[in-house]
């Protein structure tokens, strides 16, 4: 049997965080969830509130935290443009001050620490698919910079703590992930399309819909987190995690219309500023080092997600 660990998950009440909490509890660990509920939802962690190995701390990671643990997963940060652009200065603070606080905590308690970085560090990439050695093309002063540059600076901090203080780090560059417990109104492509389809509203496609995305189902992503965290000390990343299967936004819209049996029509809108045109991970490293690749196909993943969104819309009286 694996050793039972005390694991701190920042952002544990969010989309990815709550799935990670679920998995860590199922694996027999003690989990301490740290979240300020900015974009998190208490309902995401409600099933675990009475669990004997689960604890919840309401805390903003931009302030120091003094707790004990063996491992830290640092996921706290709003992830969708509508949320991270709501208070850009706080987004930078969460990424930079938050990282410093969590790295300081890891150093004090001797914990290994995982950082949820992002494919956004590649910006609008000139190379395709993106490999970890690519330094990216990010606009440092645009409306997305608070997130992109915040995450880039967090990576810098992780590597400096590693070099300077010998901290055990794991930096994952996460590509688009979807699944149940995403926020319905986070403005991301999957949630937008599913809600619009279920409500029989026009499906809003930005640009001509030829831009591509590679979407990873949440349980696949969590499996990669667990494998990466368990690797030997010298494996520090950055490592791309995502699904390399690329599809156009237009084909995604059509697939969701089919799946929901919706009467929605597709409506084309102007492309937002600095929206990346193509994004696909090269996951050779993850395949080799983690013996991992996504297993859940788009049809199965979307079906689970649609079922969750449908239930949530019914609960809220929208359907």
The residues binding ligand NAD (CB under 6 A) are 10-11, 13-17, 35-40, 60-62, 75-79, 83, 94, 98, 116, 118, 174, 176-177
Minimal distance in Å, beta carbon 19 to ligand NAD? 8
Q: Which is nearer to ligand NAD, 114 or 161 (CB)?
A: 114
Shortest gap between Cβ of 230 and ligand NAD (angstroms)? 19
d(CA 79, CA 186): 9
Indicate the residue among 16 and 286 with the shorter CB distance to ligand NAD: 16
By C-alpha distance, which of 164, 162, 170 is closest to 285? 170
- Measured from each CB, the residue nearest to ligand NAD is 14
Q: Which of 147, 161, 178, 217 is catalytic?
A: 147
- Cβ atoms of residues 45 and 181 within 8 Å: no
Integer Cα distance of 183 and 297 in angstroms: 21
Residue 14 beta carbon to ligand NAD: minimum distance, rounded to whole angstroms: 2
Question: Measured from the CB atom, is 8 or 197 closer to ligand NAD?
Answer: 8
SS (H, E, C) 61-115: CCCCCCCCCCEEEECCCCCCHHHHCCCHHHHHHHHHHHHHHHHHHHHHHCCEEEE
Whether 122 sits among the annotated catalytic residues: the reply is no
CB of 203 to ligand NAD, least distance (A): 20
Q: Is the separation of the CB atoms in 25 and 2 below 8 Å? A: no
User: What is the β-pairing status of strands 112-118 and 30-35?
Assistant: unpaired
Catalytic residues: 147
């Amino acid at each position: 049997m694996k050793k039972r660990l005390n694991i701190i998950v920042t952002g544990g009440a969010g989309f990815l965080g709550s799935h990670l909490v679920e998995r860590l509890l199922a694996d027999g660990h003690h989990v301490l969830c740290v979240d300020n509920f900015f974009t998190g939802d208490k309902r995401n962690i409600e099933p675990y509130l009475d669990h004997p190995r689960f604890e919840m701390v309401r805390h903003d990671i931009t302030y120091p935290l003094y707790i004990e643990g063996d491992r830290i997963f640092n996921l706290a940060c709003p992830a969708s443009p509508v949320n991270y652009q709501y208070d850009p200065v706080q987004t930078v603070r969460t990424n930079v001050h938050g990282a410093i606080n969590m790295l300081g905590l890891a150093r004090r308690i001797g914990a290994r620490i995982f950082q949820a970085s992002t494919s956004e560090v590649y910006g609008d990439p000139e190379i395709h698919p993106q490999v970890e050695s690519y330094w990216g093309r990010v606009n440092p002063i645009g409306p997305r910079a608070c997130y992109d540059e915040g995450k880039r600076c967090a990576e810098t901090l992780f590597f400096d703590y590693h070099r300077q203080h010998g901290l055990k780090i794991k930096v994952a560059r996460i590509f688009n992930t979807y699944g149940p417990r995403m926020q319905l109104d986070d403005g991301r492509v999957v949630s937008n399309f599913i809600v619009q389809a279920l409500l029989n509203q026009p499906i809003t496609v930005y640009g001509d819909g030829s831009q591509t995305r590679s979407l990873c189902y949440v349980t696949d992503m969590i499996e990669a987190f667990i494998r990466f965290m368990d690797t030997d000390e010298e494996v520090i990343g950055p490592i791309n995690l995502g699904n390399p299967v690329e599809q156009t936004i237009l084909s995604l819209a059509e697939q969701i219309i089919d799946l929901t049996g919706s009467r929605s029509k597709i409506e084309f809108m102007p492309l937002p500023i600095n929206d990346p045109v193509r994004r696909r991970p090269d996951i050779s490293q993850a395949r080799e080092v983690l013996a991992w690749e996504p297993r859940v196909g788009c049809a199965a993943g979307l079906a689970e997600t649609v079922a969750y969104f449908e239930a949530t819309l019914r609960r809220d009286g929208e359907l």
